[in-house]
Amino acid sequence: MKTPHILYLHGFLSSPLSEKAQQTQGWMAKQGLAEHYHCPALPMSPKECARVIEAQVRALDGEKICVIGSSLGGFLATWAVEEFGLERAVLIDPAVRPYALIRQYLGPQQNYQTGEIYDIKAEYADDLLAFERSPANTEKYWLLLQTADEVLDYRQAVDFYRGCHQTIEDGGDHSFVAYADWLPRIWEFANGR
């Protein structure tokens, strides 16, 4: 059986330097799986994002891929699974209907880790809407949600991903507190166990 590759998709205004991305990279390295971890820096433009994700998937052609998506990365992970027929996705506090949320971020916004300034454009809402996909095979998805997420209403994800495996923890926050503790189980899921 092929060893899966992890494709980590970070969230909005985030980067591969985010805490969860770094924890995932570190955990994979400790397992001797560093070459099976991929975390591209995602541009702000949804269309550019899609191109970066597609290029990464094409580079891993023929490999088994499990996408881990956090927040907006969860939305994009769903698109990637449905668009390219990827095997699995773990969605951490995923954004549902981000095209409705992005309007509150129009104009200059700063990356949380790098400090880079982006100009968030109104047309990004329509672009995001074009990438919305519903899970065709609910067995491919596992949601990790925390009820005290201060950014997104976890109940929207519960509803949108109805029928998918869901783990809902009371409390926490949008960062998904104690995420690193879940990495061994995430790896099991990636392996289809």
- List, as one string, the DSSP characters of 96-140: SSHHHHGGGG-EEEE-TTT--EEEE-THHHHHHHHT----SSGGG
pLDDT in tens, 35-90: 999 999 999 999 999 999 999 999 999 899 999 999 999 999 999 999 999 999 99
What are the distances in angstroms from CA 186 to CA 99, 123, 179? 28, 35, 10
Q: pTM for the whole thing?
A: 0.96
